[in-house]
């Protein structure tokens, strides 16, 4: 787990901060980004091992961010895990069609989230 990097993409700074604290406490290196600047981090040479991306309603910036991230060959094998409060509107197939390996519900069960992140980072290459 040491030295694994997770990019958190969320439009809410408070949400990013909470997740970043949890993941850092669990031993991960964390980079935080708003949907509008997530691509800038990748283009500047940051290579995360996992991207945890908030998914807002379809058509909102986070959905477009996932689509744009999936066009970058340098992170083609990096799993993107979506996160949403809109579980009645977001279906796993929709998240996967956008390029996420899966999605998790907000609010998070923190222990389950850490276990799932550990699973995704230890599994053989998982992409959508």
The band of 84, judged by pLDDT with boundaries at 50, 70 and 90, is confident
Mean pLDDT of the chain: 85
In this structure, is residue 128 part of a structural domain? no
Mean pLDDT, residues 6-12 taken together: 92
Residue 75 lies in a domain: yes
Closest CA to 26 of 115, 122, 101, 125: 115
Helix axes 13-25 and 110-122, enclosed angle (nearest 10)? 70
Q: Please count the structural domains in the chain.
A: 1
Range of the domain at 18: 5-122
Residue 100 belongs to some domain of the structure? yes
Q: What pLDDT was estimated at residue 87?
A: 62
Q: Which of the four pLDDT bands, split at 50, 70 and 90, describes residue 93?
A: confident
Residue 42, domain member (yes or no)? yes
pLDDT tens sequence across 41-69: 888 888 999 999 988 755 566 778 888 88
Q: What is the pTM of this model?
A: 0.86
CATH number for the domain including 65? Answer: 3.40.50.2300
| Residue closest to 82 by CA, chosen among 121, 52, 50, 48 | 52
pLDDT of residue 37: 87
Query: Which tops the pLDDT comparison, 82 or 85?
Result: 82
């Amino acid at each position: 787990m040491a030295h694994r990097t997770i990019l958190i993409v969320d439009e809410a700074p408070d949400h990013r901060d909470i997740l970043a604290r949890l993941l850092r406490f669990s031993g991960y290196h964390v980079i935080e980004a708003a949907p509008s600047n997530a691509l800038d981090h990748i283009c500047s040479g940051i290579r995360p091992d996992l991207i945890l991306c908030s998914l807002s309603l379809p058509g909102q910036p986070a959905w477009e961010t996932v689509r744009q991230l999936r066009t970058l060959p340098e992170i083609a094998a990096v799993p993107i895990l979506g996160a949403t409060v809109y579980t009645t509107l977001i279906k796993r197939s929709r998240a996967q069609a956008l390029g996420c390996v899966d999605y998790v519900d907000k609010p998070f069960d923190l222990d389950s989230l850490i276990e799932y992140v550990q699973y995704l980072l230890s599994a053989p290459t998982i992409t959508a």
